[in-house]
Structure 1
Amino acid sequence: MGLCFSKSGSDRFDSDQHVEFVGGNVQPVTSKEDWDQKLSDAKRDGKIVIANFSAAWCGPCRLLAPFYSELSEKHPSLMFLLVDVDELDEFSSSWDIKATPTFFFLKDEQHIDKLVGANKPELQKKINAILDSVK
């Protein structure tokens, strides 16, 4: 399982190594207000939210990004969000993010589960459990 704890010069990546973090049905969160609106929309639509707190410089985050995008396409009944911990530093701190990626699962704007690390099988397992619980 991969984790990133802090950014340093050696963790930086060149622009030619850029990975598309927002693909499929993944929605970027650009502000606290944007977050609040997306959670409100999810609650209104009866969707469970999966929020990926990630960073562009984080290797495990970059490796997991295509899989996260794939999941968002496979499960349109869920809302997949992406929060860049550098762009929304204060907001991310309010969620007590210690490592990236960190995934929060929310239902009706309430935290129901959490996963820390780039663990594809565990992320899939948690999504399947959530989908089974709403059937």
Structure 2
Amino acid sequence: MGHCFSRDKSDGADSDEAVEFVGGNVHRVTSKEDWDQKLSEAKRDGKIVIANFSATWCGPCRILAPFYCELSEKHASLMFLLIDVDELTDFSTSWDIKATPTFFFLKDGQQIDKLVGANKPELQKKITGVLDSMGK
């Protein structure tokens, strides 16, 4: 299972590379205000939020990104968010992110589950569990 623990940008894997982190129904969070707005929307619409704390330089994040986008298209009853840990460093630190990717599952703004690492089967399993709990 893949995790990235440190930031080493000297490997050339910078954001110029054509990896699509946002697509499908994935919303990119670029500020704390943006985060608050998305959480309010999710609460209003009765959606569970999946927040992906990720980084453009992280190999496992890059591999998982297209799958995350696919999941967002398949499960419109959930809200999929993407937070770049480098773009929102202080915010990410407040969530105690130790490795990327880290996924938080939130209902009404409260954490109900968490997954650390680029584990496709486990991510799928947790999403299925969340959908089952919602009766969808």
Q: Structure 1 residues 29 and 9, CA, compared in 2 at 3 Å: closer, same or farther?
A: closer
Q: TM-score, normalised by structure 1?
A: 0.96
Q: Report whether the alignment pairs 1:126 with 2:126.
A: yes
Residues 14 and 56 in structure 2, CA contact (< 8 A), matched pair in contact too: no
Q: Report whether the alignment pairs 1:109 with 2:90.
A: no
Q: Structure 1 residues 12 and 113, CA, compared in 2 at 3 Å: closer, same or farther?
A: farther
CA distance in structure 1 between the aligned counterparts of 2:71 and 2:115, rounded to whole angstroms: 15
**3-state DSSP of counterpart to 2:19:** coil
CA distance in structure 1 between the aligned counterparts of 2:65 and 2:5, rounded to whole angstroms: 17
Report how far residue 66 of structure 1 moved. 0.1
Report how far residue 14 of structure 1 moved. 5.1
Cα deviations by residue, 1:88-131 (Å, 9 ceiling, x for unpaired): 00000000000000000000110000000000000000000000
Counterpart for residue 85 of structure 1: 85
Q: TM-score, normalised by structure 2?
A: 0.96
Residues 15 and 57 in structure 2, CA contact (< 8 A), matched pair in contact too: no
Please tell me the root mean square deviation across aligned C-alpha atoms, in Å. Answer: 1.1
Q: How does 1:20-31 map to 2 (within 5 A)?
A: 20-31=20-31
Residues 29 and 83 in structure 1, CA contact (< 8 A), matched pair in contact too: yes
Report how far residue 8 of structure 1 moved. 1.1
**3-state DSSP of counterpart to 1:2:** coil
Residues 29 and 35 in structure 2, CA contact (< 8 A), matched pair in contact too: yes
Which shows bigger deviation, 1-10 or 26-35?
1-10
Displaced runs of 4 or more, over 6 A:
none
Q: Report whether the alignment pairs 1:59 with 2:38.
A: no
CA distance in structure 1 between the aligned counterparts of 2:63 and 2:126, rounded to whole angstroms: 19
Identity %: 81
Count of aligned pairs: 135
CA distance in structure 1 between the aligned counterparts of 2:14 and 2:86, rounded to whole angstroms: 17
Q: Structure 1 residues 37 and 15, CA, compared in 2 at 3 Å: closer, same or farther?
A: closer
Residues 11 and 59 in structure 1, CA contact (< 8 A), matched pair in contact too: no
